[in-house]
């Protein structure tokens, strides 16, 4: 038969061993908690310190349009060259979106060189209802003479 004193020591040792063996208490004792100590889906937004979720913590493609606040992506947050024609909706860029002289022959499909015609007339002035000729010359293209009637303008 075990004496009461020895039985108390065994019970105390058993209880102490249970506490020491407990993963929760080991983590608490070491002041660290690892992934295996956290129950799935138990960490909430209020449990995360502000500024602690970093780029390396976010998987590629994890942030979709529905997760972005309105107007939260500004010009300064867009990397140079990251928006190409595949990311622009057709017909969404208008002439006022393009800087002066930003589009040349190389940017226009099917155009390799821009040429401007030189046009002239022998008339120094043309009266209303008169017919006059306008001669236009464009190198590499057949020169053309246009005959135009000047229409009377209402005063």
Laid out side by side, the sheet with 131-137 consists of: 118-120, 131-137, 144-149
Q: What pTM value is reported for the model?
A: 0.30
What pLDDT is stored for residue 21 in this prediction? 56
H-helix or E-strand spanning residue 30: helix 23-30
The pLDDT of residue 61 is 86
Q: Distance between CA 108 and CA 98 in Å, rounded?
A: 13
CA distances from 29 to 21, 24, 25, 26, 43 (A): 11, 9, 6, 5, 21
* Contact of 150 with 128, CB cutoff 8 Å: yes
Q: 128 to each of 22, 76, 119, 123, 147, how far by Cα in Å?
A: 105, 57, 21, 13, 14
The one-digit pLDDT tens for each residue of the chain (155 residues) are 555 556 555 655 555 555 555 666 555 555 677 778 788 888 888 888 898 888 888 898 888 888 888 888 888 888 888 888 888 898 888 888 888 888 877 777 777 777 778 888 877 777 777 787 888 887 777 777 777 777 666 55
């Amino acid at each position: 038969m075990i004496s009461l004193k020895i039985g108390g020591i065994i019970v105390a040792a058993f209880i102490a061993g249970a506490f020491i063996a407990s993963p929760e208490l080991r983590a608490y004792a070491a002041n660290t908690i690892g992934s295996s100590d956290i129950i799935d889906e138990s960490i909430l937004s209020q449990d995360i310190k502000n500024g602690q979720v970093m780029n390396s913590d976010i998987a590629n493609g994890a942030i979709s349009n529905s997760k972005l606040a309105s107007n939260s992506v500004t010009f300064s947050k867009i990397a140079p060259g990251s928006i190409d024609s595949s990311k622009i909706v057709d017909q969404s860029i208008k002439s006022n979106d393009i800087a002066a002289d930003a589009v040349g022959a190389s940017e226009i499909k099917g155009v390799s060189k821009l040429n401007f015609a030189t046009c002239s007339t022998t008339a120094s002035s043309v009266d209303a209802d008169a017919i006059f000729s306008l001669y236009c010359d464009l190198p590499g293209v057949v020169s053309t003479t246009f005959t135009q009637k000047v229409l009377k303008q209402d005063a």
